[in-house]
Amino acid sequence: MDNRTDAIKTYNDLSHLGNAAGRKRGHIMSNAMAQTSRSFFKKNHFNKSLIGLDLFCGEGKITNELAQVFGQENRVIGFDIDATSIKIAKEKIALKNDQVEFLHLENDNWFKNEAYDFIYCRTFLNQFYTPLDLFQKMYSSLKPNGFVLLESFDLSNFQCFPQNYAFDRYLELHTALNRVKGTSIKSAVQLGTSFHMAQFKKNHIQIVSPAFLPDDCKQIASLSLESIATELLEMELTNQTELQALLFELKTFEKQKNTMISLPGIYQAVGYK
Q: Which residue, among 273, 158, 151, 154, has the nearest Cα to 205 in the 3D structure?
A: 151
Rounded to two decimals, the pTM is 0.76
Question: Residue ranges of the domains in the chain?
Answer: 3-272
Please tell me the distance from the alpha carbon of residue 61 to that of residue 92, in angstroms, as a whole number.
9
pLDDT of residue 48: 73
pLDDT > 70? residue 90: yes
| % pLDDT > 70, the chain | 82
What's the CATH superfamily of 3-272? Vaccinia Virus protein VP39 (3.40.50.150)
Share of the chain above pLDDT 90, in %: 34
Other beta carbons within 10 Å of 99: 19
Which of residues 212 and 175 earns the better pLDDT score? Answer: 175
Give the closest residue to 26 by CA, choosing from 54, 68, 67: 54
